[in-house]
Structures are given as C-alpha cells and as structure tokens.
Amino acid sequence: MIDHVGKPSWQAQIRGSKTWTLEPPPECYFQCQTLSVTVHPGNIIVLDTNAWYHKTLIVSDELSITIGSEYD
C-alpha cells in the first residue's frame, strides 16, 4: 500500500514497538544508506514520507498504537 501524505509528519508510539525501515530518496540513492529504527512507547519519529519510502513492522507481541500528525 502506498500512502501519499503530502507533508512531513510525526508519529508517537503509545503502545507496542514498531520497526521503521526507510529507503533513501532517489537523488541520494547511491550515496545514502537504508535506515532502520525501532520505536518503543514514548518515542517519536519525524520524517518526510514523500522523500523517504518506508515500511513498518510490528515487532512486539502486543497491539501497536501510535498517534501522528502532518505539518507544514
């Protein structure tokens, strides 16, 4: 599934843990590395999903709950 957000956004992890895998934007594909980060309750990740392709994987045994928002 592709989600077109249109603006940078933040996601706050409330419950469970989630691993984000971020692929670099095309203009730095051969110079930038894929990033992987696991967020836990209380962590916040800020990213521009229009520049960085991403996927998420729930890595805990419990339900993953996040809140988020887009911003200008």
Average pLDDT, the chain: 87
**Residue span of the structural domain in which 15 resides:** 9-59
What local confidence, expressed as pLDDT, does residue 27 receive?
86
- Does a structural domain hold residue 1? no
- Does a structural domain hold residue 69? no
- 3-state SS string over 4-69? CCCCCEEEEEEECCEEEEEECCHHHCCCCCCEEEEECCCCEEEECCCCCEEEEEECCCCCCEEEEE
- Does a structural domain hold residue 35? yes
The structural domain count of the chain equals 1
pTM (two decimals): 0.80
Residue percentage of the chain with pLDDT more than 70: 89
What local confidence, expressed as pLDDT, does residue 5 receive?
62
- Does a structural domain hold residue 68? no
- Does a structural domain hold residue 4? no
- Does a structural domain hold residue 70? no
- Does a structural domain hold residue 50? yes
* Mean pLDDT of the 42-47 span: 95
CA pair distance 45, 9, nearest whole angstrom: 8
- Does a structural domain hold residue 30? yes
